[in-house]
Each structure stands twice: as C-alpha cells, then as structure tokens.
Structure 1
Amino acid sequence: MRHVSDDERRARLAVRHALAVGTQVDSPEAATRAMTVLHATEPATVYLSCWARVESLEIADVDRALYGDRSLVKQLAMRRTLFVFPRELLPAVWPSASARVARFERARMAKEVEQSGLTDNGDDWIERAGAEVLAVLAEAPDGRTAVEVREAIPMINVKAVRTGGAVWAANAVLTHLGANADIVRAGNAGHWRTSRSRLTLMSHWLGEVPSPWDAADGYREIVRRWLYTFGPGTEEDLVWWLGSTKTVIRTALAELDAVAVSLEDGGTGWLLPDDLDEPADPGSWVALLPVLDPTVMGWQGRDFYLGAHREPLFDTRGNAGTTAWVDGRVVGCWTQDDAGVVTVGLLGKVSASARRALDAEASRLTKWLGGLRIGTVYSTPAMKSNRLQV
C-alpha cells in the first residue's frame, strides 16, 4: 500500500487549493471548482476565499459570477450548510446531498407544526405552504425577500411556540424549498459582506433548469471532486463532510476505483486511481483564509495541518474562524482593528521570513478591503484572545 506522508498531504493542499505561489487561479469559477464548493454561510467568506486564491480579484468579479453570469449558484446541501456550487455540479447535488437535507427538514417541520398546534396534518400543511410560496415567487421574477414572502402568505407568517422553544414556520418552509432546489437565493440587496438575499424560483434564476442526475451518480461525482481537492482523505472525513452514510461513501469509492493509501497517523486514506503521483514541491507560501474557508473545513481529521492548534481556532460548535497559514500548517489567525487594519496573531513561533510574508499578506488584505470591517458570528478563542504574539 502506498504511503502518503503529512508533508505530501500539505504539498497537495497547497497545489490543489490554489494557495501556493504559482498555483493561484484566474477567476472565482476556477477557485470554486478547485475547492469543489465554497462555504457561503457568511456572505463575505465567498469573496475572501476567492481573494486568497485568485490573482488580482475584484469584488465585481465575484458579483458577476454569482449574479450576472450565474455560473456560481448558492445551494443548501451537505450538513444543512449553504454553499456556492459551480453551476454544472447542481444536477449532482440536488438528488443526493441536498435531497437528504430536504427529507430531514420536511420530516422535522411536519412534526413541529403538528406539535405547535398549527395543523393536525403536517404533510398536508407543508404541501399547501410550499405551493403558496412558489405561487408568490412565480409572480416575482426578480425575487422577494424572506420578509416579503412571509407577509404575502398569512399561513406561514406566524411564530409557532411549542414545548422546549419556538419554531419559525416561515423559515422552515423556505429552508425546505431551498434544499429541494425549488427556490434559490438570488441577488443580494445588501452590501457584499452582508446577507439580504432575494428569493426566486430556480427556473427564474437559471432559465433552463437541468434535470437532476440519479442519486447514486450524484454522490459519486461529489465524492470524485472531493477526492481530487482533498485527497487523500478517510471514510470518516467523507462521511462528515458529505453528511452522509458509510454505505454511500463506500459505494462511491468502489465505483470510482479509489485507491487505498496509508497515512502518517496510521489511518487509511483514499485517492483517485489517476492521482497517485507525488505533487511538485510548492515552495514556501503563506495564506490568510476567512471564517469557514473550505480548506479549513475540508476534513474531519485535521491534525496534519492544525497540529496542537485545533481548540483555539474553532468555536464550540466546530466552526472554523480565520486562519493564518505557513507552508501548509495553520499558525494562527487574523483579525481587524477598528480602522479595518488586518493583523496576524500567532499561536507559536515562525521564521522571520514567514513573519514578514504574513505581514505582507495582511497589508495586501487591508488594502483590498479598503477600511471595511468583516463581522462574523463565528469568533474563536484565538480571534478573541489578546495574548497572541502579534
């Protein structure tokens, strides 16, 4: 069995994730395909993940891809997370990871609306509510905000209270329809770093909507792309990232003729059969990645790039904060002061040349942001700490 060292894994990461000098790509679309998908829970992450990988990126480049060409599309999928997908990957994710989320959301919503006293038949209520939402959006090709949709449909414009907490029925309906690919987050009425999405029908947004693939084919294609981006990865990595089952993962790996390799921690990873060669040495590199960047969130087993720094770089729910990288290892995080100046905080010692390179990258990001401050709800202990070696 071929052995893949942690050094090789870090070299692969640099090249495949378009982070090392000479490997960066030329467009938001290329950056997204390199990463399989981009996290979009926080709108700014999409822009900052592209900035880290695309040479000479402008805000308008990302806006064009998202809202002009619509070559990148936001879709609720793996682990009930909002991602940006390359348009051509949508038919694969709709019947697989997105459908799994949609089924879970529907079952939960049916139970909750019955327990809340809104109806005696949750499935019927969901069908009627969904039909009303689709009818309202059918009359608005340019889309409507979630608030406008709720105000237009009295049956979902409620706060349903049940034992143990409150359930916003309207949000649950919209979440289900989004996972089901009936509706999509279209243009953003707010600033690029904030979320004021307008909802519209998928058919309005894409024009001709491609037919979904078979679920098994969809899972196999997503696993194939993940292996190219993140391989070698373990079954556990894939189960976690895809939010699926071992059966689904093992079937996809078998159909792809994936090759088992041994990892430095003693585990078994998987590579595509045409991706067994060692990568070229990427040389020295640094990167500043945003909250929930797909590189940081790509694996469940993260020791080969986090080392001892897992706890300070993630919040209590496992969400990654900002990260600073040197040669494939996370060495700290970055924050902004009140004036928007980016500062790198270290969790340990780095070489003088690495420190200079990180500071230069921080200056470049400060200039690109132009005084704008990026807020987040995912602050980590490292981001909050005043004890970092700044």
Structure 2
Amino acid sequence: MRFTDEQRRHRLVVRHRVGAPPPATPPSVEEIVDGVLVLHATDPATVYLSVLARSSAATLDDVREAMYARRSIVRVLAMRRTLFVAGLDDVPVIHAAASLGVARRLRTRLLKELRTVPTDPPVPDPEAWLALVEDGVDAALRAAGTATGAQLSTAVPQLRTAILPTTDKAWDVRRTVTSPTLALLSAEGRMVRTEPRGAWTSRHHTWAPIEAWFEGGLPELDEAEARTRLVERWLEVFGPATVDDVQWWTGWNKTDTRAALARLALVDVELDTGPGIALPGTEPVDPPAPGAALLPALDPTPMGWKERTWYLGAHRERLFDRMGNIGPTVWWDGRVVGGWAVRSDGEVVHRFLEDVGSDAVEAVEAEVEHLQARLGGATFTTSFPTPLERELRA
C-alpha cells in the first residue's frame, strides 16, 4: 500500500483535529488527549493551548478541571525524558514502557554525582542516603497531601544537600539535589506534578502522591509487553510512519524498538519519503475541507515524527530552535505555513512563511482573533524560543 504525503496530511488533519471541521458535539478534554496520545507539558501553557487548538468550545477552566478536579489526565516524565500529560488509561503503559527506563538513568546519574562530585554536606554512602531521602519524601508528601519542592526540602533537610561546582564554567554552579531527586521519584511512579502555585502558565508545580490518581499506586506491567502496547497506540495516532519515527519518539535504542515492533502484525507501506509501517486497517481518509489551526510550541503533532518534511516543508530553520524544539506554528490544510507568538501586552501576532491564498489568510486571522479572546490577555514565554518567535515578540 502507498501513502502519499498529501494522504498522510489528510490523516493528520482528521486524526489530530488540526484544522478539521468541528464535530456536532465538541470533544471533551479527555477525548482530545486520547486522540493525540499525549500532550507535551514542558511548558505548562502548551497543555492548555494544545486543547484549545483542537476545540473551539474548550476553555482554560475545562483543561484545569480535567487535570486537577476530575484527575482524568496526569503529568508523567516519560519518552526522551520529557514531561507529558496523558490519559489515565495510557499512563500505566507509558510508565512501564518509558518512564521506568528514564528513572533508571536518573538514579544512576544522581548516585554517580553523589559519589564523584563534592557535596555540602558530604554524602559518604550515597545509596543509604538516597534510600533515607526517598522514605522521607514519601512520608512528608503523604502527611501534607500536596507540597512544593521547597516545602519538601524543609520537611526532608537532606534535599537541601548541594552539589558543588568543580570548574569555572558558567553553567557549573552550586545546586541542590531537590529537583533531580523529585524528578527521579516521579519517573519511578511514586509522585506526580499537580496544580502549580499561581496562574495556569506557572511552572511552580506542587507534588502529590501517586495514590491521588491511582488508588494503590500504578499497576505493574511487563516492560517489554508495555513497549509493544505503546508502539501500537502510537501507530494508531501517528501511523503510517517509519521505524526511525518510532525510535525517535519513544527514545528507545534500536534493539528495544525492533523487539516491540516484532510483536505486532504490521503492514509494510510505501511513503513518499521511503519505506514505512502501519497497523492493519490503516487506510487513506477522505480529503477534509481545508482549515486553519494555531498549534503551540512543542505541540504533539509537529513533534510526533522524526521526518517532518511532509507537513513542515522548508520552514524548519525559522520554526525550530537549535535543540530540535518547535515553536508556535500556523497550519493550513494539514501543512505548517507560518508561526505565531504572544507579545508582552497579550496581543497574538502571526506571520506567514509562504503564499497561502486569501481563504487561508482569512481563516488564520479568524483563529488569531478567537485565540486572543480566549486567552483574555494572558501572556507567557516558551522555554525554547525559536527565531521567528523572537522576531514576532520583539
């Protein structure tokens, strides 16, 4: 079977709700998250904006209610050591398939630093020290219900242990072990990031025990089986794709990637970019009517594949930073055609990077006006500003 770039873009529009005609019944926040598997959450604003981009009826409060009142979606540290928001049904699979591997690397790194780098105070037995800290954090968090990192470091003074600089490099500074230790415990499924202090754009999250979302804790799954289940879910959302796309998105090595794929009955397909794979039953969809969308920085759609030319065109240099993080993008008919930003006064501004025609211009301008009204003057900055975004915010 062959899938042209155009056919893949049609599937992207329909499956990811990127400029697709709105359904008769607006999708819930949970349905939107399920439809794209995960939302990127490195920037808190991205979670909200990714939902708003896929439903003209959703509000900021709707997203907050799903995350913190219904607790039907939750933040997880997972693929590529990246922070995501996922639905409760997918979290156990993601945890076993990706988070546990991240946790092992974080634990190894932290213990190595404690053994080899000077600390204040000294840590003569890193393994015993970390076990003591883990128990202390668990007890303190259960007693408090929710707590900030600062509150936990007050309850567990060992978290204020500092790793000392060993060079004169600008980045080599005194830093406490609070953040890496809490990140480790979250990757191990013992605690989760919950509602931040401050506005919806705040990065100052509080922490809560995992039992606040999963009674009795996360279920234990076989890691190999979980990797296969995660690949299957990913192909439901992002297929057809390439094996390199799968490996890049998951962050696995080649051995784990091939083993996970080998357990699935896949269909070989031909893409315009070369050989690809798909789940049985993956078929082209009817071409949807052209539509516009404003996707935020690090949205799961443009960050879903390693090979992006088929929807990005020649715009990588303007829309990505040097680390491979995409900024806010303007979409028309399943393609990236420009970028946008929010200025310090709350104005939403945009720029086209190619000639798209009057229909597209009119539709995008309507999306810009609608988004600005929904944000209500809120401002935010992305963690990884791109060249075009810097220009637009100036």
TM-score, length-normalised on structure 1?
0.94
Letter in 2 for 1:140: A
Q: What are the equivalent positions in structure 2 for 1:78-157 lying under 5 Å apart?
A: 78-117=79-118, 118-141=122-145, 143-157=146-160
Q: CA-to-partner distance for each residue in 1:175-218, whole Å, 9 max, x for gaps?
A: 10010010111222221111222111101343343412111221
The question of whether the paired residues in 2 share the 8 Å contact of 1:76 and 1:82 is answered with yes
- Within 2, Cα distance between the matches of 1:63 and 1:386? 28
Q: Give, in whole Å, the separation in 2 of the partners of 1:387 and 1:54.
A: 26
Equivalent of residue 383 in structure 1, options 372, 380, 389: 389
Given residue 232 of structure 1, which amino acid in structure 2 is its aligned partner? Answer: P
The answer (yes or no) to whether the contact 1:113–1:169 under 8 Å persists in 2 is no
1:299 to 1:55, Cα distance in 2 relative to 1, 3 A: same
Three-state SS of the structure 1 residue aligned to 2:144 is: coil
Q: Which residue of 1 aligns with 2:50?
A: 49
Are residues 229 and 205 of structure 1, via their aligned partners in 2, closer, same or farther at CA, if it must alter by over 3 Å? Answer: closer
CA-CA distance at 1:23 after TM superposition: 5.3
Deviation at 1:387, TM superposition (A): 12
Distance 1:128 1:208 in 2: 22
Matched, 1:268 2:278: no
For 1:249, the equivalent position in structure 2 comes to: 257
Shift of 1:274: 2.1
Q: How much does 1:354 deviate? A: 0.5
Alpha-carbon contact 1:257-1:272 (below 8 Å) kept: yes
Q: Which moved more, 1:188-197 or 1:107-116?
A: 188-197
1:196 aligns with 2:197: no
1:160 aligns with 2:146: no
The one-letter code matched in structure 2 to 1:122 is: P
**Which structure 1 segments of 5+ residues have no match?**
none
Which residue identity does 1:7 align to in structure 2? Answer: E
Identity %: 38
Please report how far the alpha carbon of residue 370 of structure 1 lies from its aligned counterpart in structure 2 after TM superposition.
1.2
1:1-390 map, 5 Å: 2-22=1-21, 26-117=27-118, 118-141=122-145, 143-164=146-167, 165-166=172-173, 167-265=175-273, 267-275=274-282, 277-385=283-391
After superposing the two structures, state which structure 1 stretch, 37-46 or 147-156, moved more.
Answer: 147-156
Equivalent position amino acid for 1:234 in 2: T
Q: Give how far 1:386 is off.
A: 5.7
Q: Tell me, yes or no, if the aligned pair for 2:32 and 2:51 is still in contact at 8 Å.
A: yes
Per-residue deviation, 1:121:
3.2
Distance in 2, Cα, partners of 1:217 & 1:20: 35
User: SS of 2:288's equivalent?
Assistant: coil
Give, in angstroms, the shift of residue 127 of structure 1.
1.6
CA displacement, residues 236-263 of structure 1 (integer Å, 9 cap, x when unaligned)? 1111110112222222222221111111
Distance 2:4 2:377 in 1: 41
Q: How many residues align?
A: 384
Q: SS where residue 89 of structure 2 aligns?
A: helix
Write the deviation string for residues 89-144 of structure 1: whole angstroms up to 9, x where unpaired. Answer: 11112222000100000000000011223324332222222111111112112x10
Q: Is the 8 A contact 1:94 1:212 kept in 2?
A: no
Secondary structure at 2:336's aligned position in 1?
strand
Give secondary structure in 2 for the equivalent of 1:139: helix
Aligned partner of residue 88 in structure 1, secondary structure? coil
Tell me the distance in 2 between the aligned counterparts of 1:225 and 1:256.
Answer: 11
State the alpha-carbon separation in 2 of the partners of residues 314 and 176 from structure 1. Answer: 29
SS in 2 for 1:262: strand
Going from structure 1 to structure 2, the CA distance change for 1:198 and 1:338 (only over 3 Å counts) comes to closer
Following TM superposition, by how much is the alpha carbon of 1:328 offset from its aligned partner in structure 2, in angstroms?
Answer: 1.3
Cα distance in structure 2, aligned partners of 1:264 and 1:352: 29
